[in-house]
Amino acid sequence: MENIKIQKYEDLLLKNGLKRTGARLQVLDVLSNRNSATSQPYLENIIGKAIDRVTLYRILKTFEEKGIIHRILDNQGTANYAICSNSCTAHNHHDEHVHFNCNNCLKVYCLAETKIPPLKMPAGFEVYSMNLIVSGICKDCKQHTN
Amino acid sequence: MENIKIQKYEDLLLKNGLKRTGARLQVLDVLSNRNSATSQPYLENIIGKAIDRVTLYRILKTFEEKGIIHRILDNQGTANYAICSNSCTAHNHHDEHVHFNCNNCLKVYCLAETKIPPLKMPAGFEVYSMNLIVSGICKDCKQHTN
DNA sequence: TTCGTAACACAACATTGTTGCAATTAATAA
DNA sequence: TTATTAATTGCAACAATGTTGTGTTACGAA
Ligand SMILES: [Mn+2]
Ligand SMILES: [Mn+2]
Ligand SMILES: [Zn+2]
Ligand SMILES: [Zn+2]
């Protein structure tokens, strides 16, 4: 882990009133260095030897509550996690972007620029939030299968 | 179970090349008589004494593959099942309607009339299907908490 | 009626996530 | 620096959901 990055992670933890621990830094580092969301099984695979499974779950829950990361359930119901935009706070997530779930590599991508279009709902339903998951084949998989 | 309904279920099974069994009729009956999607835990609760748990899972999987029912994962990752529109077939589901997940009663509603609006995706992603889940408070819960 | 296959039940297992509690450690004050 | 304390962690035990394998049962066609 590079010093510049560690500094960034420490700031993030400090800002949210969380203690600086090795486990938390590791989780932030893994999530930060990937170009797609990270699944819970993947996380457990790569840092599950160093960090207790339960601790990992608790870190993820804490981060989500603080608005540091957001959770995306893919089409198999697997939990995937991605760093939030820095405008997210404990009680206000701003991640209402579309997510893409590749049927081939199973990765989940945050399409940060693609917002969920407005919708007219039937009467009587009060809308709080929306989750749109698009399925198909991702850029990478399309190239590799050509 | 009324005879008229049983007849309908039998036709559905026959049409899809599935044997008429008590377990399958029961599942179809439960799913048909509810105004919202039915969760796996609920199904297991009410028919889990009569039907083996594994059998229930296999029936649900078969029905989904045949296009008899579709599965909706709610915000907790719980599987919910609803009867398909009768235009659905084994290889072509036509259930691209919006689903509503109530934060209070946790029910999942099929909003059959509400279609997912078109979306312009970033280049490189090939879209096969879309899933939009709207969260909030449902009609019933709003009334009962007034 | 017989026969082959589809459907079933039961046991065993895997994965994902939770809870309680004791031990450790990071942040702060003395 | 050392002491204090609340937050964090690790471990054990458990619950829920879903899968796989295998032997048995029962439909439906011949
Ligand atoms: Mn995202
Ligand atoms: Mn539906
Ligand atoms: Zn892919
Ligand atoms: Zn409700």
Rg (CA), chain A: 17
Could you check: is the Cβ of residue B18 within 7 Å of any atom of nucleic acid strand C?
yes
Using a CB-CB cut-off of 8 Å, the residues of chain B touching A134 are 119, 121, 125, 127, 129-131
Q: Report the pLDDT averaged over residues B11-27.
A: 96
Give me B16's structure tokens.
């899809």
Distance between CA A48 and CA A64 in Å, rounded? 19
Q: Report the pLDDT averaged over residues A7-16.
A: 96
The angle, 0 to 180 degrees and rounded to 10, between the axes of the packed helices B40-47 and B22-32 is 130
Could you check: is the Cβ of residue A55 within 7 Å of any atom of nucleic acid strand D?
yes
Structural domain containing residue A75: 3-145
CATH of the domain at B41: 1.10.10.10
Distance between CA B139 and CA B142 in Å, rounded? 5
pLDDT in tens, A80-107: 999 988 777 777 777 689 999 999 999 9
Distance between CA A50 and CA A94 in Å, rounded? 32
Distance between CA B46 and CA B124 in Å, rounded? 46
The per-residue pLDDT for A60 is 98
Say if residues A71 and A31 touch (Cβ distance below 8 Å).
no
Distance between CA B132 and CA B84 in Å, rounded? 17
In terms of pLDDT, which residue wins out, B82 or B92? Answer: B82
For the CA of B136 and the C1' of C18, the distance in angstroms is: 25
- For A120, nearest residue in chain B (alpha carbons): B114
Distance between CA B10 and CA B20 in Å, rounded? 6
Distance between CA B117 and CA B130 in Å, rounded? 10
Distance between CA B142 and CA B146 in Å, rounded? 6
Nearest Cβ partner for A134 among B103, B127, B134: B127
Among positive and negative, which fits the CA dihedral B93, B99, B101, B105?
negative
In terms of pLDDT, which residue wins out, A138 or B2? Answer: A138
- For B125, nearest residue in chain A (alpha carbons): A138
Q: Is 60 exceeded by the pLDDT of residue B146?
A: no
Confidence label for A56 from pLDDT (cuts 50, 70 and 90) = very high
Which of helix, strand or coil describes residue A81?
A: strand
Residue A119 phi/psi, 5-degree rounding, is -145, 135
pTM, entire model: 0.92
Is beta strand A97-102 parallel, antiparallel or unpaired with respect to A79-83? Answer: unpaired
Say if residues A44 and A61 touch (Cβ distance below 8 Å).
no
Q: B123: exposed, middle or buried (C-beta count within 10 Å: 0-12, 13-18, 19+)?
A: exposed
Nearest one of A112, A54, A114, A50 to A82, comparing CA atoms: A112
How many structural domains compose chain A? 1
Nearest Cβ partner for A122 among B113, B122, B130: B113
Could you check: is the Cβ of residue B65 within 7 Å of any atom of nucleic acid strand C?
no
Q: Ligand 1 being an ion, which residues bring their Cβ within 5 A of it?
A: A 82, 95, 110
Residue B2 phi/psi, 5-degree rounding, is -80, 150
- Percentage with pLDDT > 70 across chain B: 96
Say if residues A83 and A35 touch (Cβ distance below 8 Å).
no
Please name which ligand lies nearest the alpha carbon of A137.
Answer: 3
If you measure from the C-alpha of residue A48 to the centroid of ligand 1, how many angstroms do you get, rounded to a whole number? Answer: 23
The per-residue pLDDT for B2 is 77
Could you check: is the Cβ of residue A42 within 7 Å of any atom of nucleic acid strand C?
no
The per-residue pLDDT for B85 is 80
